[in-house]
Amino acid sequence: MSKKSAIKIGMIYACSVIGVGFASGNEVLNFFSAYGFNGFAGILVSSFVFSVFGYMIVDISFKTGLYNMSKCYRYICGPAFSSFANIVGICFYFSLFFLMLSAWSTVLDEYFKLPVLFEYSIFIILFFLYNIFDLQRKSISSFIRVIILAGTAMVLSYIVFMRLIDVFSTFGVIKYNLWYVSALMYVGYNSFVSSELICKACETADSKQSAQAGGIIGGCFLFILSFFFNLIFILWYNKNHNFPLLDMLEQGHSSVKLIFTIILSVCILYSGFNSGAIMVEKISVIMKTNKILTLVCISLVSLVAVPVGFTRLINFIYPFFGITGLIILILFLTTALIKNLKITKNSNEL
């Protein structure tokens, strides 16, 4: 087993969930911090489930020789389930692509009051280049993942250091209900992109053991970052902002805020482009259309995200895809486990 390969896959898996929602603190604030100290238990549960999920996807990919989630769905659960999961997945990728486009405009507005269509055009041009040059498979993607993980960790450390200099503020109101449901919905919501990316990553892994270790490492990365996010919000944050970390850097931290805005922008582009690339691939196969034509159509359709706004998209995407993603995940893994047991039993009898 190669440690380098395992860490690389772990970073791919972890970064699949670190879009603007996670890196800005929005997801942690809503899924975990809202439940006070129970949020730490929620983080532990979601990170554990995330690791187990990654391990099982890797196991399924290597056993079947399939490195595409659509084919895995079809092989394990049949064509009807595969069609349903693919339709829901495409809807999710559309929604996430729209969300990142809206977030892109929102973040740029922190410093530049550019025309909305100009911001949109920049995003779409970069998206075209990302797909045409297939940057998802190039070494630059590894560099981007390092920036996302290291940059987010550095900003978290900076906030902790500066806050520890101040007097500790009092804790806010703590909620104790349904933290475990929130934790599982978080995994369900993130399972769409993460399953696709770790499945593809298996194809380049040097061994099954490296890929499985990568799935577990991804969950560990997620746990560490989520833990410190949650700790910071419980100790020092009692507001509700689209980008909580930017909000905490509002007063007297202009240079750090600019750096973090750049990191957020990288997160937005990485998350948005990955979801868009998966969407383009799926639609091109289903509709049997040219990749460039699909890109053009998606770019035109994505204009509808401009007037909707970041907050409205989040309010829809989080709950709906959290529940549907969790249902798909449970059905898929349960069926895979049953089939695996049958295969093992039959081989023993032989």
The single-letter DSSP state of residue 37 is T
The single-letter DSSP state of residue 309 is -
Q: What was the pLDDT predicted at 167?
A: 39
- Contacts of residue 176, Cβ cutoff 8 Å, sequence gap at least 6: 35, 36, 38
Closest listed residue to residue 116, CA positions, set 306, 312, 309, 264: 306
- Tell whether the model's pLDDT for residue 10 goes beyond 50: yes
Q: What was the pLDDT predicted at 45?
A: 93
The single-letter DSSP state of residue 115 is -
- Contact assessment for residue 249 and residue 113, using Cβ atoms and an 8 Å cutoff: no
Confidence of residue 337 (pLDDT cuts 50, 70, 90): confident
Q: What was the pLDDT predicted at 82?
A: 92
- The Cα-based distances of 72 to 50, 55, 285, 337, 350 in angstroms read 18, 15, 16, 13, 26
**79 class by beta-carbon count within 10 Å (0-12 exposed, 13-18 middle, 19+ buried):** exposed
The alpha carbons of the chain give a radius of gyration, in whole angstroms, of 20
- To the question of pTM greater than 0.85 for the whole model, the response is no
- Tell whether the model's pLDDT for residue 214 goes beyond 80: yes
Q: What was the pLDDT predicted at 342?
A: 59
CA distance 17 to 223: 12
Closest listed residue to residue 245, CA positions, set 303, 347, 158: 158
- Tens of pLDDT, residues 138-186: 777 888 888 888 888 888 888 877 776 553 333 333 344 578 888 888 8
CA distance 221 to 147: 14
- Tell whether the model's pLDDT for residue 347 goes beyond 50: no
Among 137-141, 203-207, 284-288, the range scoring the smallest mean pLDDT is 137-141
CATH number belonging to the domain at 3-337, selected among 3.40.50.720, 3.30.460.10, 3.40.50.970, 1.10.4160.10: 1.10.4160.10
Q: What is the mean pLDDT of the chain?
A: 82
Taking the alpha carbons of 286, 292, 295, 301 in that order, is the dihedral positive or negative?
Answer: negative
Taking residues 333-342, what's their average pLDDT?
A: 79
- Tell whether the model's pLDDT for residue 348 goes beyond 50: no
- Tell whether the model's pLDDT for residue 327 goes beyond 70: yes
Taking residues 216-226, what's their average pLDDT?
A: 91
Taking residues 259-268, what's their average pLDDT?
A: 88
Confidence of residue 1 (pLDDT cuts 50, 70, 90): low
CA distance 161 to 272: 31
- Contacts of residue 131, Cβ cutoff 8 Å, sequence gap at least 6: 273, 276, 277, 280, 291, 295
